[in-house]
A and B are shown apart, each in its own frame.
Chain A
Amino acid sequence: MWLWVGIIGAWGWVCAVDVPPLLREHKIKELMLVSLIMIVMTAGSMTYIYMSRPPNPLVWLGKWISPYARALYSLMS
C-alpha cells in the first residue's frame, strides 16, 4: 500500500515540478526520457507489489560474478 503512495507521489511530484518547464521550453527529448524512466520504475514497483517472488538483480549479478569472485578469493586462502 505504501509503495502505491510512493508511486502516486513520485508521478505527482514529477508532473508538478519537472514536466511544466520541459513542456514550456519544448524539450521533447528530456520529456520522453523522464517519462521512460518513470514508466520503467513504475513497472518495477508493480513487479515488486504483485509478484510473489520478484526478480532480484543481485541474484543475476551473483551468478555472473561468482566464478570470478571464487577465483579471486582462492588466491587469498
Chain B
Amino acid sequence: MVNKDMLSVRTFSILVIFFTIGTSILITPAGLALEANQDGWLAALLGVGLNGLMVLIYILLGKRHNDKTLVEMCHAAFGKWAGNVLGICFVLFFYLLAALMVGDLGYFLTTQNLPETPIEVLQILFVIIIVFAVRAGLVVYSRAAQIFFPILICFFGLLILPILPKININNFEPMLEYGFMPIVKAGFSFSGLQEMVVLLMLYPYVKKPASSNGGFMGGVLVGGIVLIVTSMGCIGVMGASVTSNQLFPAYVLAKNISIGHFLERIEGLMIFIWIMSIVMKIVITLDASVIGLGQLLKLKDTKPFIIPLGFGIVVLALLCYPNTIFIQDFLSKNWAPFASIFTLFLPMLLLVVLLLQKKKVDENPISASTEKQKV
C-alpha cells in the first residue's frame, strides 16, 4: 500500500486529464456523430457538463471522508457485509474496465498499424508495461504522467492547428435539426465513457489544500475541452456521416493533415497521444482494483497480486472482445447505462446514506458515540 499524502493537487489534475482523454479521444467522435449528427460537438459539451456534475458528487464524497477510498466509504456507509458486496461490485467494475481498455488497445493496433502481429502479443507487451508501472507505485507513474503531460499538449496542438483551415462551418449546420433528445442521448453515452469514479480510489492519497477539489474539476474540464475540440475537428473536417462511419475517427482526421505537401503522415502523433493516455488510464484503473482488493481482503501488501491480476486482464480482454462489431454494439447500447450504475447512482446513494448518518450523529451525538463504542 502507498503512504498517505503523496500526490500534489497539480499531479492529481494531470492524472485526471489523462484519465479523461483515455480511450475517449479516439472513439467518442464516432458515437457522438452517429447519435447527434452535426450536433455531436454540442453533445460533447453536454457530456462534459454531465461529467462535471458527477465530479461534484465525488468531491462532496471526498470532502466528507477525505481519508477513505471508495471501498472504505462503502464500508462506512453500509457496514461490513453490504459494504463488502458493494466494494466487490466496484472492484469488478474497475477490473472489467481495465480489461476492455486493453482490448481496445489491441484491436486498434491490429486493425490500423500492425495487422500481421497477433493481438495476444500486443496485449501481453502492454500489460507487462502496465504491471511494471503499478508495481512501481502511485508516485512513480504519476511522475511519468507529469513528464508526458507537456508532450501530450504539444502533440495535441500540432494535430489541431493544421486542421483549423480545413474546418468547413457548413458541416455544423443546420444546428438542432433533430431537436434536443439526440444530443441528450449522445451526451449521456459520452459521459458513460469517462468513469471518473475510479479516481475516488486515489483521492485519499492527494494532499488536501483548499484547491484540491478545484484540481479534480479543473482536470475534468481540461480533458473535456480536448475531447470537445477533437469532436469538433472530426465533424468540421470530415462531416458527420463520414465521422460516424469510422471506427477511430480521430485517427482518420490525423491522416488528413498535410502542410504544403511537406509535413504529412503525422497520424503517428495521434497514436502516441492515445497510447500514452490509455496506458495511463489502464494503470490507474488496475491500481484502483488492486487497492480495492487489498482493502476488501484486509491485505497489508498488495504487490504480489499485481502480476496475477495483470495476467487476468489479458485473458478477460481476449474473452470479452470477439470482434470490433460486437464491442461497438455493446458500447453503443449497453455500456453507458451499465457504467451509470457505478458512476452516478451508487455514488449518489453513498452520499445520501453518509449525509443521513451525519445528520443522525449531529442530532444525537451521545447515543451515536455509545453505539460506536459498542462496535
Residues of A within 8 A of B (CB): 2-3, 5-7, 9-10, 13-14, 17-19, 21-22, 30, 33-34, 37-38, 40-41, 44-45, 47-48, 54-58, 61-62, 65-66, 68-69, 72-73, 76-77
Contact = CB atoms under 8 A, between A and B. Distances in A.
Interface of B: 96, 118, 120-121, 124, 181, 184-185, 188, 297, 299, 301, 303-305, 307-312, 314-316, 318-320, 322, 326-327, 330, 333-334, 336-338, 340
Contacts of A5: 124
A22 B120 CA distance: 30
A3 B312 CA distance: 12
Interface of B is mostly: helix
Contacts of A76: 181, 184-185, 188
Given A2-B121, A69-B333, A18 B185 contact: no
Contact of A48 (B309, B319, B330, B337): B319
Contacts of A38: 308, 311
B185 A44 contact: no
B319 A65 contact: no
A56 B322 contact: yes
A59 to B, nearest CB: 8
Given A3-B120, A57-B320, 11 more contacts: A5-B124, A6-B124, A10-B308, A13-B307, A18-B303, A33-B297, A47-B319, A56-B326, A58-B326, A61-B334, A72-B337
B286 to A, nearest CB: 13
A34 B319 contact: no
Secondary structure dominating the interface of A: helix
B304 A22 contact: yes
- Going nearest first, the 8 A-B pairs with the smallest beta carbon separation are A69-B337, A37-B308, A10-B311, A18-B304, A44-B315, A76-B185, A2-B120, A41-B312
